[in-house]
């Protein structure tokens, strides 16, 4: 169920240059069912900035009623968000959208998880759930440069983790595709979140594989009412368009025209 709730900041931490990890707590966590879903946050009680910001859920802890997000403080909204301190309230609308299905793969099989920059966070909860299920995840995570790399250790604890930076300042040099070319493709399903160009490259690289891709669009309502976030579709599905917020943000590969 979608709810709107004032949730409390438990922790706010800088984990890389301009990259923040924010943990909130509240009952709404109990409704978070799938990795890859997102929340729509109000960053201010004032009328400016006005709109909510969509941020992916990066890990969920039902026991403590806490969930964590990782985001880059970039524009006005995310900068304000980064100023929230423990005890402050954040107005959360969520959980929204459809995440990564974890029922497409079985214990003992391998899964490929490919993240680009600020698209990495939702893969963390996914990977945890896959591991719990007995699936073996392989992580390929691309970043701009060393100073914005985050969560390497956390992913390593869950499975093989390859870091690649565009400027070569850490891990291998280049794009995630450069790493992927050198890896076996003995995985069952791939999951990815990151820049659209990256998602497009993956679809091209693994035309025969089952894949799940998380897309981004500018949003208004976040719940499917305003038609701000539509994407064109391919012949693969019947609909003329899909909405990232309510039909996605995760779609099977081949559905969204990239």
Partner 1 sequence: MNRLAIELPGLSLKNPIIPASGCFGFGKEYAQLYDLSQLGAIMIKATTPETRLGNPTPRVAETPAGMLNAIGLQNPGLKKVMENELTWLEQYEVPIIANVAGYTTEDYVTVAEAISKAPNVHALELNISCPNVKQGGITFGTDPFVAEELTRAVKAVSSVPVYMKLSPNVTDIVEIAKAVEAGGADGITMINTLLGMRLDTKTGRPVIANVTGGLSGPAIKPVALRMVYDVAKHVSIPIIGMGGISTIDDVIDFLSAGASAVAVGTANFVDPFICPTLIEQLPQKLDELGFETVADLVGRSHRL
Ligand X SMILES: Cc1cc2nc3c(=O)[nH]c(=O)nc-3n(C[C@H](O)[C@H](O)[C@H](O)COP(=O)(O)O)c2cc1C
Provide the binding-site residues for its own copies, judged by CB under 8 A.
44, 46-49, 80
- Region for 132 from its dihedrals, namely left if φ exceeds 0, alpha if ψ lies in -120 to 50, beta otherwise: alpha
Interface residue with partner 1 among 101, 159, 195, 224 (CB under 8 A) is 224
225 binds ligand X (CB under 6 A): no
Q: Which one of 25-33, 78-86, 180-188, 216-224 is the stretch in contact with ligand FES (CB under 6 A)? A: 216-224
30 binds ligand X (CB under 6 A): no
Interface residue with partner 1 among 231, 250, 255, 256 (CB under 8 A) is 231
Cβ distance to ligand X smaller for residue 197 or 226: 226
C-beta of 225: minimal distance to ligand FES in Å? 5
Q: Name the nearest CA neighbour of 118 among 73, 53, 80.
A: 73
The SS3 of residue 202 is: helix
C-alpha span between 74 and 61 (Å, rounded): 27
Helix/strand/coil (H, E, C) string of 130-190?
HHHHCCEEEEEEEECCHHHCCCHHHHHCCCEEEEEECCCCCEEECCHHHHHCCCCCCCCEE
Interface residue with ligand FAD among 9, 15, 16, 51 (CB under 6 A) is 51
Which residues are CB-contacts of 216 (< 8 A; sequence separation ≥ 6)? 54, 196, 244, 249
Interface residue with ligand FES among 36, 222, 248, 249 (CB under 6 A) is 222
Question: Residue 115 in contact with residue 180, Cβ under 8 Å?
Answer: no
- Write out the two tokens for 178: 């450069």
Q: Which one of 5-13, 61-69, 82-90, 226-234 is the stretch in contact with ligand FES (CB under 6 A)? A: 226-234
Q: In the 8-state DSSP scheme, what is residue 256? A: B
C-beta of 171: minimal distance to partner 1 in Å? 27
243 binds ligand FES (CB under 6 A): yes
**How many binding residues for ligand FAD (CB under 6 A)?**
23
76 binds ligand FAD (CB under 6 A): yes
C-alpha span between 143 and 139 (Å, rounded): 13
Interface contacts to partner 1, rule CB under 8 A: 1-2, 4, 42, 47-52, 77, 93, 217-231, 240-241, 246
Interface contacts to ligand FES, rule CB under 6 A: 219-222, 224-229, 243, 245
């Amino acid at each position: 169920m979608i709810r709107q709730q004032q949730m409390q900041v438990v922790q706010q931490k800088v984990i890389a240059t301009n990259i923040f990890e924010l943990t909130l707590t509240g009952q709404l966590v109990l409704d978070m069912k799938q990795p890859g879903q997102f929340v729509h946050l109000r960053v201010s009680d004032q009328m400016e900035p006005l709109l909510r910001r969509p941020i992916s859920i990066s890990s969920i802890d039902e026991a403590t009623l806490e969930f964590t997000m990782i985001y880059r403080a970039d524009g006005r909204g995310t900068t304000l968000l980064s100023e929230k301190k423990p005890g402050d309230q954040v107005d959360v609308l969520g959980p929204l959208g459809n995440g990564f299905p974890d029922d497409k793969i079985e214990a003992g099989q391998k899964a490929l998880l490919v993240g680009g920059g600020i698209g990495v966070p939702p893969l963390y909860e996914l990977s945890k759930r896959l591991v719990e299920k007995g699936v073996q995840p392989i992580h390929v995570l691309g970043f701009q440069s060393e100073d914005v790399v985050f969560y390497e250790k956390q992913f390593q604890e869950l499975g093989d983790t390859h870091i690649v930076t565009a400027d070569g300042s850490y891990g291998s040099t280049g794009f995630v595709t450069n790493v992927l070319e050198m890896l076996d493709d003995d995985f069952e399903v791939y999951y990815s979140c990151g820049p659209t160009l990256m998602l497009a490259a993956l679809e091209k690289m693994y035309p025969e594989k089952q894949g799940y891709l998380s897309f981004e669009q500018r949003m208004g309502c976040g719940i499917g009412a305003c038609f701000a976030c539509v994407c064109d579709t391919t012949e693969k599905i019947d609909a003329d368009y899909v909405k990232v917020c309510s039909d996605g943000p995760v779609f099977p590969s081949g559905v969204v025209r990239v």
